Amino acid sequence: MASLNDFIIQKARQLPVIVAVDRSGSMSKNGKIEALNLALKNFVNSLKEEKSDKIEIQLALYSFGGRDEVSCENELSPLSCIECKEYTASGRTPLGRTINAIKQLIEDRTKIPSRAYAPTVVIITDGESTDETAQALASFKNEGRSSKAYRIAMAIGDDADIDFLKSFVSEPEYLVMGESASDIKQFFKFVTMSVSQRTHSLTPDSVKLSVQNVPTDDDDEIIL
């Protein structure tokens, strides 16, 4: 005889996606901040189209710039609650503080419960860090729940902190190299497909993300 537990509908498991974007002064050049604003809106709208009865994507949006400021514009929330802000570019590039802020969120079990899937963490930047990163990065990668995150990044141009980003990503191929504003749009397509892969997988915490077959507007490949 079936028990009542057999008919209990399981609540969808949270899949956190945490995005941190650079709004430092160098992002004002060559249309980068405008491209970022547009790409971020398209990214959020694309995620809203993902449907799953078993997984609920939740998104948090951070930005860094100004006087070594790290801001959380959107707390981790269901996609229906997310509204993208129009960023303007100024100031510095505090990457160390940024990953410390993200780690604090990941380790907070009131915001990301134990049954949640490992988060996808995304950083996009075009500059060298203006604060200390070594200790923050070591803690993020090796301690606590943040060590299990899918870590994806984009370096825009030759002035980006390549060494930091290479150390940050969880797989070498998860670092995307871009040269122009148009590459930002392609990067967010990769992130969208990565989240989609995990959403529709039977094992979201063991998916090997694929950077192949990411659609492009001009049939150009993403530079990896």
- CATH number for the domain spanning 175: value is 3.40.50.410
pLDDT over 70 percentage in the chain: 90
Tell me, what's the pLDDT at 120?
A: 98
**Domain assignment present for 219:** no
Residue 122 phi, psi dihedral angles, 5° rounding: -125, 130
Residue 135 has pLDDT above 60, yes or no: yes
Total count of domains within the chain: 1
* Bridge-based pairing state of the strands 13-22 and 120-125: parallel
Average pLDDT, the chain: 90
**What confidence tens digit (pLDDT) does each residue in 78-101 have?**
999 999 999 999 999 999 999 999
Dist. CA 214–CA 220, nearest whole Å: 10
Assigned token pair, 219: 């049939």
Mean pLDDT over 22-41 rounds to 95
Tell me, what's the pLDDT at 216?
A: 54
**Domain assignment present for 172:** yes
**Domain assignment present for 182:** yes
Collapsed DSSP state (helix, strand, coil) of residue 72: strand
**Domain assignment present for 149:** yes
Helix (H) or strand (E) holding 44: helix 32-48
Tell me, what's the pLDDT at 217?
A: 55
**Domain assignment present for 220:** no
**Domain assignment present for 218:** no
Secondary structure (DSSP) of 155-222: EESTTS-HHHHHHHSSSGGGEEEE-SHHHHHHHHHHHHHHHHHHHT-S-GGG-----TT---SSSPPP
Q: Where are the beta strands (DSSP E) in 47-174?
A: 55-65, 69-78, 120-125, 150-156
**What confidence tens digit (pLDDT) does each residue in 44-78 have?**
999 999 988 899 999 999 999 999 999 999 999 99
Tell me, what's the pLDDT at 80?
A: 93
Residue 181 has pLDDT above 80, yes or no: yes
**Domain assignment present for 163:** yes
Tell me, what's the pLDDT at 212?
A: 56
Residue 101 carries which DSSP code?
A: H
Q: Which residues form the domain of 144?
A: 12-206
